[in-house]
Amino acid sequence: MKYYSLNNRDIVVSFKEAALQGLAPDKGLYFPTEIPQLPKAFFENIGSLSKEEIGYQVIKPFVGNEINEADLRQIVKETLDFDFPLVQIEKNKYALELFHGPTLAFKDVGARFMARCFQKLARDNAKKVTVLVATSGDTGGAVAHGFYGVEGVEVVILYPKGKVSSIQEKQLTTLGKNIKAIEVNGSFDDCQAMVKRAFLDDDLKGAHLTSANSINVARWLPQMFYYFLMYRELGKIDKPLVVSVPSGNFGNICAGMLARALGLPIAHFIAATNANDTVVRYMDTAIYQPTTTKVTLSNAMDVSDPSNFVRILALFGNENKALHAILDAYSFTDQQTLEAIKDIYYAKDYLVDPHGAVGYLGLKQYEEKKTEFIGVFLETAHPVKFPECIEQLLNIDIEIPKRLQEIQKGVKKAIEISDYKELKRFLLD
């Protein structure tokens, strides 16, 4: 498998190069030169396959021989070393819980896979790699945890000051060792723009920068796994499958669409967003126009310029008609999110986090158009990560899992910056 830059088809690299570079030299996102098809038998027998086997079969064509079979199987096994339960919420509606990993968010899958690949791929590099990552909430903690103590890798996490939850902040600022945190006076989009600028800065070549956001193929591609695991869990279904994905940087939904392109029978996707509705507006007007990033309760989705949307367009050959046939995009206010959390808790006896609530609302809105479908929304983070919002709203105490209690005791260590110049100085130092 080769990958080309979405800005220039002539820039073609291997999986290893794409992963170690993060972004192409022309600032383009890497994209597979071909979309492999999984054999019919794979889908027919999926119910009898282990999650490790499924993960291996799915990712193998994208990695090729750059990691040997035994190592790749081990990487997948360790990546998927927790549960992905599918919980029925009401008739024909399910939550796919993706928060049972170490940092209680769906990002654990991509971060663990990428960190383990780097242990293999970067081994031969004499130089240290610096992983630069922007987070609006959950990526930072997952990447910090995934890369903690990995030899030859320094991690620098940029997050928007005052715009992540207290638990998310602890997760990314307290580990120390090879993990450094930078709080930015700005939004997630400012953080992401600085990260992308740093990759292209000749003065920083010596730092061997790469990305651990979903712009990196090694973080993005493994997110396909849980769509296949969801399909296995559902078993035989007699209606079209519709998946609603809470969307911020659009890496997750894009991975789901790639899974579909590999042959996974998902009939329709819903991109469920908060007030940061650039894609929703694009779907209505065909004009892509990011605005100022808005702060919302579903903070990990506070992204106004989602990096992966270009990959989605590429998957559909930049054909809006083809895209509309598969994708609906909706945006919901914080008020609607709070009402959904309450409604799901009291009427369905299920506790959902603000991101999952937006996903659920996506299914509900789609239901106004079509009724005959099996709907799954992705529950992307554990509700305990948002105590500020949920405990007050429902007047309950959520028990903090043991692994988070430890993090809570850690001391925040972060430096504050306001612009790219300061980031550059930090990286050069």
Can residue 138 be called a binding residue for ligand LJ64HWYM (CB under 6 A)? Answer: yes
Rg of the chain (C-alpha set): 20
Check if the beta carbon of residue 336 is closer than 8 Å to that of residue 364: no
Distances (CA, A) of 424 to 20, 194, 221, 336, 428: 20, 9, 29, 40, 6
Residues 244-263 that bind ligand LJ64HWYM (CB under 6 A): 248-249, 251
Nearest-10 crossing angle of helices 225-234, 51-63? 140
Q: CB-wise, 38 or 303, nearer to ligand LJ64HWYM?
A: 303
Can residue 213 be called a binding residue for ligand LJ64HWYM (CB under 6 A)? Answer: yes
Residue 107 among the catalytic residues: yes
Check if the beta carbon of residue 121 is closer than 8 Å to that of residue 19: yes
Q: Pick the closest to residue 346 from 401, 276, 286, 393 (CA basis).
A: 393
Can residue 139 be called a binding residue for ligand LJ64HWYM (CB under 6 A)? Answer: yes
Check if the beta carbon of residue 29 is closer than 8 Å to that of residue 23: yes
Q: CB-wise, 144 or 241, nearer to ligand LJ64HWYM?
A: 144
Query: Among the options 51, 93, 107, 170, which is catalytic?
Result: 107
Q: CB-wise, 93 or 252, nearer to ligand LJ64HWYM?
A: 252
Q: CB-wise, 38 or 114, nearer to ligand LJ64HWYM?
A: 114
CA 210-213-214 angle, 5° bins:
115
Q: Minimal distance in Å, beta carbon 69 to ligand LJ64HWYM?
A: 28
Q: State the Cα–Cα distance between residues 245 and 233, nearest whole angstrom.
A: 18
Distances (CA, A) of 357 to 99, 183, 336, 378: 14, 28, 9, 9
Q: Minimal distance in Å, beta carbon 59 to ligand LJ64HWYM?
A: 17
Can residue 214 be called a binding residue for ligand LJ64HWYM (CB under 6 A)? Answer: yes
Cβ burial 387-397 (10 Å sphere, 16+ → b, else e):
bebbeebbeee
Binding test (CB under 6 A) with ligand LJ64HWYM, winner from 130, 136, 173, 174: 136
- DSSP, residue by residue, 338-373: HHHHHHHHHHH-----HHHHHHHHHHHHHHTT--SS
Helices (H), 187-250: 188-199, 217-220, 225-234
Q: CB-wise, 130 or 135, nearer to ligand LJ64HWYM?
A: 135
Q: Minimal distance in Å, beta carbon 110 to ligand LJ64HWYM?
A: 7
Q: Minimal distance in Å, beta carbon 384 to ligand LJ64HWYM?
A: 16
Instruction: Convert residues 53-92 into a mask of x (bound to ligand LJ64HWYM by CB under 6 A) and - (unbound).
Output: ----------------------------------------
Q: Minimal distance in Å, beta carbon 215 to ligand LJ64HWYM?
A: 6
Q: CB-wise, 28 or 240, nearer to ligand LJ64HWYM?
A: 28
Residues 282-301 that bind ligand LJ64HWYM (CB under 6 A): 300
Check if the beta carbon of residue 258 is closer than 8 Å to that of residue 272: no
Check if the beta carbon of residue 4 is closer than 8 Å to that of residue 23: no
Binding-site size, ligand LJ64HWYM (CB under 6 A): 13
Where on the chain is the footprint of ligand LJ64HWYM (CB under 6 A)? 135-140, 213-214, 248-249, 251, 300, 303
Catalytic residues: 107
